Amino acid sequence: MSATTKFRVALRGNALLTHPRFNKGTAFTTTERAAFGIIGHLPYKVNTLDEQCDRAYQQLQTRETPILKNSFLTSMKSQNWVLYYTLISRHLRELIPIIYTPTEADAIANYSHLFRRSEGLYLSFPNEETMEEEFLEQTEGRDIDLIVCSDAEAILGIGDQGVGISTAKAAIYTLIGGIDPSKALSVTLDVGTNNEDLLKDPLYVGWQEKRVRGEGYDRFVDKFVQLVRKYYPHSLLHFEDFGVTNAERLLELYKDQHACFNDDIQGTGAVTLAAVMAAIGVTKTQLKDQRFIVYGAGSAGLGITRQLRDGMVTADNISAEEANSKFYLIDKHGLIKSSLGEANIRADLNDFVRPDSEWEGVADANGEVSLLEVVKKIKPTVLIGCSTHAGGFTKEVVQVMAKGTERPIILPLSNPSRLVEVDPKDANDWTGGKALLATGSPFPPAKMPNGKEYIIAECNNALIYPGLGFGAMLSKSRTMSDKMIIAGTKRLASLSPALEHPDNALLPDFADSPSVNFEVAVAVAEQAIEEGLAGVDWKKEEVREKAKEKVWEPIYGEYIYDKDGEA
């Protein structure tokens, strides 16, 4: 959208001033104020967007805590989209943690007590029979490219929150991916909650019953997915914050039916793969040459492992079985090996179970093999942490690893920073500056032996998932294929500062995330066309220009009153 874009708008008076998509507040021109009957609704002076941003930022600074800042910005979003997105885009590094993780977790935890107005679509289990009617009430006549849905079972590290609309994720798609917010829909699938505090809270706004499981849950979710497929076949369906029992299962069930994406599984895996690809660009090796230890085998750890495996199969042209053999997964029972038995090994981990014959004489009296023993035996080149075990990568573990490889790749990814497996400064010191590092939370630079500061890359999903999603939406692909994700990941890795100098960060700075995600989107759409999955009749060479045309920018257009215009 450019500054000269003209909109024919049917709203007048208060209806216009209370519509967040079209409201300009004091930025309405004198001509527009007369045409839309709002001269008396506004103070005399006409402000520029810059002046509005300055005022809003000053107001924001008077809010002393992150949760109060979050509340202020949420209120602004419900009033004026252009001002909201402009303000945040100008202070991206400062304000993303306010509107998203970690502050959004507190906002969702207090959702019922902070509730002021509805935003998005709420589909509740007791109203299953009228789901289609409710869906159409919200969506009929709308052009929707993105649908973000959540059942709120695993919210941002704080667990089951029952009902809490997933608007923050959609906002990130707009801020960093350039998605038009009018074409995004956030959906809460309210299937109850097992959070006892919420079940006893008289102010809880959701369905106050135990969480539905089994056949009833599957039927409810499937009805929703089929509505998306029926009415918006070319949209991206983003699954957000589903619990471990459903996240992977739902993705596998629907990914071949519709363009589906789960950031907790695929986004985390993709940005980690990009960091590893950048690191092996420094070491001049290949993915298939690596030996991986993944410390923490939950949904994030398994998602990372699978994405690395798939990347290896695609990039190095080896079998999945050979790629699986490069991984050693560790959970609370120690190394995942066959003698742990079915009771202690989830079915989704079966591809990565190590044979006991490898560990004779290494396991302790309980049959467990510790992280240190695995490091000693296999001499890993890559050590990934997603365990939330603070300090799990001890000095001895790191130093033993450093003895076995010239440039150890160490990625302590657990969030928040207090739960990180190793402080990157310590890992840098313990390896004499040899480690190639990336973390899941922001950390200050570490000092190299030569005195240079080593920038710690942040494996932030927002460096890639908005671009992956935008690429799928842009190409109107009916699926999000593994090759599309790999193409986007390769593009992100190619932008690594470390490829220019080995002592630079492994990933681009988060402040550059909008331009980085644009490049990711182009790569994804090009791959969709190459695979024959795209729903557009473009050549690969046309994608970049088409993408530029589709990027939404928070700029006020010129309004012309038309009773038959948009409303």
pLDDT digits 0-9 by tens, 21-80: 999 999 999 999 999 999 999 999 999 999 999 999 999 999 999 999 999 999 999 999
CATH of the domain at 116: 3.40.50.10380
223 and 287 housed in the same domain: no
Average pLDDT of 346-361? 91
387 and 360 housed in the same domain: yes
Domain that holds residue 51: 6-99
323 and 231 housed in the same domain: no
**CA dist 158 → 86, 105, 192, 357, 360 (Å):** 30, 7, 16, 39, 39
pLDDT over 90 (residue 360): no
**Residue 90: inside a domain:** yes
190 is in an annotated binding site: no
240 is in an annotated binding site: yes
Name 454's Cβ contacts closer than 8 Å, sequence gap at least 6: 428, 433, 437, 445, 446, 447, 448, 503, 505
**Residue 471: inside a domain:** no
**Residue 562: inside a domain:** no
> Up-side HSE of residue 563: CA atoms within 13 Å toward CB?
0
- Dihedrals φ, ψ of 161, to 5°? -120, 10
Residue of 24, 69, 77, 169 marked catalytic: 169
Instruction: Report DSSP letters for 11-40, one per residue.
Output: --HHHHHT-TTT--GGG--HHHHHHTT-GG
Q: How far apart are CA 16 and CA 299, in angstroms?
A: 45
44 and 130 housed in the same domain: no
**Residue 513: inside a domain:** no
Q: Number of folded domains in the chain?
A: 3
pLDDT value of residue 416: 78
**pTM, rounded to two decimals:** 0.90
Reported as a pLDDT band with limits 50, 70 and 90, residue 566 is: confident
Q: Which of 262, 287, 316 is the last residue of a domain?
A: 262
Each residue's pLDDT tens digit, 170-215: 999 999 999 999 999 999 999 999 999 889 999 988 899 999 999 9
**Residue 1: inside a domain:** no
Q: Which of 404, 285, 264, 387 is nearest to 336 (CA)?
A: 387
Write down the residue that tokens 């941002």 correspond to.
156
337 and 287 housed in the same domain: yes
Each residue's pLDDT tens digit, 79-120: 999 999 999 999 998 999 898 877 776 777 676 667 766 788
Report helix, strand or coil for 6: strand
How would you write 88-156 as a 3-class SS string?
HHHCHHHHHHHHCCCHHHHHHHCHHHHCCCCCCEEEEHHHHHHHHHHHHHHHCCCCCCEEEEECCCCCC
The first and second tokens of residue 464, run together, are: 């890639």
pLDDT value of residue 116: 65
76 and 139 housed in the same domain: no
**Residue 497: inside a domain:** no
pLDDT over 60 (residue 1): no
pLDDT over 80 (residue 365): no
pLDDT value of residue 157: 60
pLDDT value of residue 189: 96
Report helix, strand or coil for 8: strand
Q: Which of 99, 122, 156 is the last residue of a domain?
A: 99
pLDDT over 90 (residue 513): yes
64 and 121 housed in the same domain: no
Reported as a pLDDT band with limits 50, 70 and 90, residue 326 is: very high
415 is in an annotated binding site: yes
100 is catalytic: yes
pLDDT over 60 (residue 291): yes
- Dihedrals φ, ψ of 73, to 5°? -70, -35
pLDDT over 60 (residue 136): yes
pLDDT over 80 (residue 299): no
CATH of the domain at 44: 1.20.1370.30
Average pLDDT of 498-527? 95
Reported as a pLDDT band with limits 50, 70 and 90, residue 449 is: confident
**Residue 221: inside a domain:** yes
Average pLDDT along the chain: 92
Q: Which of 241, 281, 282, 283 is nearest to 265 (CA)?
A: 241
pLDDT over 60 (residue 236): yes
398 and 253 housed in the same domain: no
CATH of the domain at 344: 3.40.50.720
Name the least confident of 154-168, 194-208, 221-235: 154-168
pLDDT over 60 (residue 552): yes
Within 265-394, where are the H helices? 268-283, 299-316, 320-324, 371-378
**Residue 547: inside a domain:** no
**Higher pLDDT residue, 175 or 169?**
175
134 and 146 housed in the same domain: yes
pLDDT over 80 (residue 155): no
- Cα 193 to its chain centre, rounded Å, is 23
Whether the Cβ atoms of residue 130 and residue 224 lie closer than 8 Å to each other: no
Within 317-445, where are the H helices? 320-324, 371-378, 395-404, 424-430
pLDDT over 80 (residue 224): yes
Q: Which of 375, 381, 411 is nearest to 301 (CA)?
A: 411
Whether the Cβ atoms of residue 284 and residue 314 lie closer than 8 Å to each other: no
pLDDT value of residue 2: 46
pLDDT value of residue 3: 47
264 is in an annotated binding site: yes
Instruction: Kindly tell me the number of DSSP H helices and DSSP E strands found in the chain.
Output: 23, 16
Check the CA dihedral 496-497-499-505 and report its sign.
negative
Residue of 84, 85, 100, 559 marked catalytic: 100
Report helix, strand or coil for 259: coil
Whether the Cβ atoms of residue 463 and residue 508 lie closer than 8 Å to each other: yes
pLDDT value of residue 163: 75
Q: Which of 432, 462, 492 is the last residue of a domain?
A: 462
Strand partners, 330: 295, 335
241 is in an annotated binding site: yes
Whether the Cβ atoms of residue 333 and residue 323 lie closer than 8 Å to each other: no
439 and 451 housed in the same domain: yes
306 and 251 housed in the same domain: no
79 and 125 housed in the same domain: no
